A and B are shown apart, each in its own frame.
Chain A
Amino acid sequence: MKLTFPAFAGRIAFSALAALIGAIFALPLIWFIFAPFNARAELGVAIPDPWTLSNFMTVFQNNFAMQALWNSLIQSIGGVVLVGAAATLAAYALSRSSIPGKGAVTYILLLFSSVVSGSAAMVPIFLIVSAMGLIDSHLAVILTFAGGLLPTAMFILRDFIDSIPKSYEESAMVGGASPVQAFFDVALPVIRPGIVVVVVWAFVNIWGSFLIPFILLRSDKLMPASVAIYSFYSEAGTPTVTLLAAYSLIYSLPVIILYLFVSWKFGFRFFGGIKA
Chain B
Amino acid sequence: MTAEPTTPEHPAKPARRFALLSNRAGAVFLTPAGLLVALFVIIPFFWVIFVSFTNRTLLGRTALNPEFVGLANYFALFDPSNFFQRGQFGFSLILTTQFVLASALIGQALLGLLLAWLIQTVPPWIKRLTETFVIAAWILPEVVIGFAWFAFLDRDQGTLNAILGSVGLPKGDFLLQQPFWVIVVFNTWRGAAFSMMLFNSAFSSIPPSYFQAADVAGASSWQKFKDIALPLIRGHVVTDLILITMWTFNTFTPFLLTNGGPSYRTELLSIYNYRVAFRDFEFGKGAAVGVIIMLINLAFALIYLAIGRKKRV
Contacts and interface: CB of A to CB of B under 8 A. Distances in A.
Q: Are both chains from one complex?
A: yes
Interface of A: 6, 10-11, 14-15, 17-19, 21-23, 25-32, 35, 42-45, 82, 85-87, 89-90, 92-94, 96-99, 101, 103-104, 106-128, 143-144, 146-148, 150-151, 154, 166, 169-170, 173, 179-180, 182-183, 204, 207-211, 215, 225-227, 229-230, 233-234, 241, 244, 248, 251-252, 255-256, 259, 269-270, 273-276
Given A43-B150, A97-B20, A255-B140, 5 more contacts: A32-B144, A112-B37, A115-B298, A117-B294, A270-B200
B180 interface: no
Contact of B126 (A22, A125, A183, A234): A22
Given A22-B133, A127-B47, A166-B20, A148 B256 contact: no
Nearest to A114: B301
A90 B162 contact: no
Contact of A103 (B10, B123, B189, B251): B10
A192 B303 CA distance: 33
Interface residues of B, number: 111
Contact of A99 (B27, B259, B304): B27
Contacts of B122: 11, 14-15, 18-19
A15 B41 contact: no
A263 B115 CA distance: 20
Contact of B37 (A147, A183, A273): A147
A92 B26 CA distance: 8
B121 to A, nearest CB: 6
Interface in B192-248: 192, 194, 197-198, 200-201, 220-221, 243, 246-247
A273 to B, nearest CB: 6
A167 to B, nearest CB: 10
A97 B144 contact: no
A123 B33 contact: no
B154 A148 contact: no
Contact of B152 (A31, A92, A251): A31
Ordered nearest first, which 10 A-B pairs have the shortest CB separation?
A147-B40, A97-B26, A22-B130, A44-B157, A119-B270, A208-B141, A90-B33, A93-B29, A124-B44, A120-B293
A85 to B, nearest CB: 7
A85 B33 CA distance: 9
Contacts of B246: 114
Contacts of A30: 159
Contacts of B144: 32, 229, 248, 251-252
B22 A270 contact: no
Nearest to A231: B143
Q: Which of A97, A126, A208 has the most CB of B within 10 A?
A: A97
A35 to B, nearest CB: 8
Interface of B: 5-8, 10, 16, 19-23, 25-27, 29-30, 32-34, 36-37, 39-45, 47-48, 51, 111, 114-115, 118-119, 121-123, 126-127, 129-152, 154, 156-160, 162-163, 189, 192, 194, 197-198, 200-201, 220-221, 243, 246-247, 250-253, 256, 259, 269-270, 273-274, 277-278, 283, 286-287, 289-290, 293-294, 297-298, 300-302, 304-305
Q: Is the interface of A mostly helix, strand, loop or mixed?
A: helix
Contact of B44 (A107, A116, A252): A116
Given A147-B40, A270-B198, A25 B141 contact: no
B252 to A, nearest CB: 5
A120 B294 contact: yes
A108 B118 CA distance: 39
7 contacts: A25-B130, A29-B133, A147-B41, A230-B143, A248-B143, A248-B144, A255-B139
A124 B290 contact: yes
Contact of B149 (A28, A82, A230): A28
Contact of B118 (A18, A269, A270, A274): A18
